[in-house]
Amino acid sequence: MPERRNKDVQGYRYKFGVLGPSTNTIVQPDFDDLRPHGVTNHYSRIVVDNAKAVSNETFMAGAWEISHNTIDAVKGVLTCSPDYLVMGMSAVTFFGGAEGALKWRQNVEEVSGLKVSTGSEALAAALEAYGGIKKVAFFSPYYPTANAEVANFLSDYGYETVRDKPLQAPSWTAIAEIDDDKMRETFRYLDGDDVDCLIQVGTNVSGIRFCAAAEMYLGKPVIAINTATYWHALRACGVYDHVPGFGRLMAEL
């Protein structure tokens, strides 16, 4: 029987405060699908307009708007007394490489008094957990400038980006419309014998099931950012339940 950390009848093991943009419709259901019994997710929305990301500049401006509004969402979710925070937004956590990611996380931790899992650092931890990975390829709903930030972050951890694909979604909500057909087409472009691992970045893309299926037929790690982030939060809290159906990360590692 899992240890009862809380008297809460649903979140008796851990209550996660999840922080995500108000335009994001994917993180909440994805994280709920990944949660083991006794762990609950409590979503706090980072209020942001449904920006039309039609260029490098407007995408980056929109991403920084989300970043600046994060602290209000942190303060809101603290009222339910969570044990741990999980970022349901990943773009800005890649900005500035490993150092920028660390400073961004530490700022949230200082305000909240809680530990936090971010998409960027969770991805780095997932790559290390798989082991044997040197060269990667990834796609995102972002624009080229933001993809360059992801590649720079990965390089700080020693991973070479062989190929990447920015899908350039026309708005924040349109990111959630990227479907299996588009992911299949994109992974076909990205994959090759020169790639050890494929990655899907962007928390408003629901890749948790598609990436698990792709991992089986490609015979190499395929990581969805939402899977990596939630896995990291569970493991950081000492929860080692294996949840099948979402790839080796959740089922074995």
Contact in structure between 10 and 2 (CB atoms under 8 Å):
no
Per the prediction, the chain carries an average pLDDT of 95
Q: Tell me the pLDDT tens digit for each residue of 207-252.
A: 999 999 999 999 999 999 999 999 999 999 999 999 999 999 999 9
First to last CA, the chain: 21
Q: Which residues pair with 39 in a beta bridge?
A: 14
Query: Does the structural domain 122-225 have CATH classification 3.40.50.12500?
Result: yes
The two three-digit tokens of residue 152, written as one number: 């720079």
Q: In which band, very low, low, confident or very high, does the pLDDT at 58 lie, cut at 50, 70 and 90? A: confident
For 14-118+227-245, which CATH class? Answer: alpha beta
Question: Could you tell me the pTM of the whole model?
Answer: 0.96
**Residue-range domain boundaries for the chain:** 14-118+227-245, 122-225
| pLDDT computed for residue 1 by the predictor | 62
| pLDDT computed for residue 135 by the predictor | 98
What's the average model confidence in pLDDT over 147-161?
Answer: 98
Q: pLDDT at residue 24 above 70? A: yes
- Cα separation of 10 and 13, whole Å? 8
What's the average model confidence in pLDDT over 47-61?
Answer: 80
Q: Tell me the pLDDT tens digit for each residue of 89-148.
A: 999 999 999 999 999 999 999 999 999 999 999 999 999 999 999 999 999 999 999 999
| pLDDT computed for residue 80 by the predictor | 98
Of the candidates 48, 42, 49, the one whose C-alpha atom is nearest the C-alpha of residue 14 is 42
Contact in structure between 182 and 215 (CB atoms under 8 Å):
no
Amino acid at 25: T
- Cα separation of 25 and 187, whole Å? 23
pLDDT above 90 covers what percent of the chain? Answer: 89
Q: In which band, very low, low, confident or very high, does the pLDDT at 3 lie, cut at 50, 70 and 90? A: confident
Q: In which band, very low, low, confident or very high, does the pLDDT at 175 lie, cut at 50, 70 and 90? A: very high
Q: What angle do CA 80, 14, 237 make, to 5 degrees?
A: 125
Q: pLDDT at residue 52 above 80? A: no
| pLDDT computed for residue 53 by the predictor | 58
Q: pLDDT at residue 16 above 90? A: yes
- Cα separation of 218 and 163, whole Å? 17
| pLDDT computed for residue 51 by the predictor | 76
| pLDDT computed for residue 134 by the predictor | 98
Q: In which band, very low, low, confident or very high, does the pLDDT at 55 lie, cut at 50, 70 and 90? A: confident
